[in-house]
Structure 1
């Protein structure tokens, strides 16, 4: 097969949007009566998995079978792991303060406002960010060096995210750490191993879509948008604003890389010479 099947890809865009809307609609139907809109965070990973499965099914006979299988498995594994992790983390807790703050601005019905600003907005982001997943399914070329390099970047990102989440969960589970800042393991190398992991995952998935220039061009916005969200949007920037007043956080931030994992910096007073004995 030669060329990129634009007509089939265009149809996929529509069906992927329907899949995302279905996930968000079910989540809204469950969350709204309970006033627990934090469930949309769980739906985030599920919606990406739904897009991957829809694209895999529709692209049969259009894209390379090996690339299609690699991308659907990579996306679904990342999305479902994230969904399970967030579901476990939020179990037994009330509404997320982020959504309380958003819904406090509702000019009328909080439920209608939540539908527009939380569910539909996140659904649109899922659809847009998932463009490499959709495009990769229609690339006719067999996986090459770039595809496998992307898979390695994806695997590194998934590992970084999963290890960081596990380390943080264990830290929080210890009552002795209440009120303390997590600064161990990966968290001593970067203040956001989970966000950096997401960053690698989506650049890896983009590389898997680059087997055809058309797919690379149509989906280039995706990793750029995800990077902006993670670093300057609702990820790193928002969390650090929330953490800024916590005791010990300023010192932690001074010695720990803000995003890319790097060896911890020395404490400001670590190079002071011991006083000379008289």
Structure 2
């Protein structure tokens, strides 16, 4: 298959997946399932693109393993939250604005299907890589993947442990990695996309790999990541989160400042 045929197939399957997720949301009134479908959709996209790519076997195998494992871990983590908890505050705010309007929610879910296709562009680049032997780029890519996925998993566990303690209700997590960044999970999520930039070295479509970290940074920094999360945190935790904002770096980890 050509890369553009692969992309069309990914988008089609993602639209079906998000359609199923939308139907579930119509029954449960919990839109958090859209994030689960996004992560699992990208895991499937990595495997599909790897299987149908025209590049060498080694980079395609690495893509299937690394992209699939990343998406599966994230999807299962999000599913545990969606299954056990009430609708995420960000989506609850949208529900206050939109109500249960089915077509509006369907449009939102299908936009996430489009994003699965957009974030599959780095996968196309890796799957077209003709280099079939081990090299420094592949090793460095695996190293970044291990560091970033481990960091994201640790941050997720630290936050989950904090939230599950009733004594922490209404408080802001400052434990572990959350002491050095207000969004360490987002930071490592962004960092993870550089693994595919390295795996795509020498690919004729190498430039497509850069869409991963670039688009992810834009969404996390200005659109659906940090802005939504911080607005909800200020609504639910007020002054405590405002103090956290004054002392703790937003995204890139660094030592906290004193509150003045």
TM-score exceeds 0.5: yes
CA distance in structure 2 between the partners assigned to 1:49 and 1:93 by the alignment = 24
Of residues 186, 210, 223, the one that matches 1:233 is 223
**2:253 counterpart of 1:255:** no
Q: Is the 8 A contact 2:197 2:210 kept in 1?
A: yes
Deviation at 1:109, TM superposition (A): 7.3
1:1-278 to 2 correspondences below 5 Å: 8-59=2-53, 62-106=54-98, 110-116=101-107, 118-142=108-132, 143-212=134-203, 214-244=204-234, 246=237, 247-265=239-257, 267-268=258-259
Tell me the alpha carbon deviations over residues 174-220 of structure 1, each in whole angstroms, 9 at most, x when there is no partner. Answer: 111111110110000111110001111112222212332x3222343
Q: Is the 8 A contact 1:168 1:182 kept in 2?
A: yes
Q: Is the 8 A contact 2:90 2:232 kept in 1?
A: no
Larger radius of gyration: 1
CA distance in structure 2 between the partners assigned to 1:268 and 1:139 by the alignment = 50
> So what's the TM-score if we normalise by structure 2?
0.91
Q: CA RMSD in A?
A: 2.0
Q: Is the 8 A contact 2:162 2:168 kept in 1?
A: yes
Q: Is the 8 A contact 1:23 1:46 kept in 2?
A: no
> So what's the TM-score if we normalise by structure 1?
0.85
Deviation at 1:104, TM superposition (A): 4.7
CA distance in structure 2 between the partners assigned to 1:239 and 1:183 by the alignment = 16
Tell me the alpha carbon deviations over residues 72-126 of structure 1, each in whole angstroms, 9 at most, x when there is no partner. Answer: 11111111111111111122333333234335554x971111111x211011111
CA distance in structure 1 between the partners assigned to 2:96 and 2:81 by the alignment = 24
Q: Is the 8 A contact 2:191 2:213 kept in 1?
A: no
Structure 2: where are the runs of 5+ without partners? none
Structure 1: where are the runs of 5+ without partners? 1-6, 270-278
Aligned to 1:274: none
The structure that is helix-richer by fraction is 2
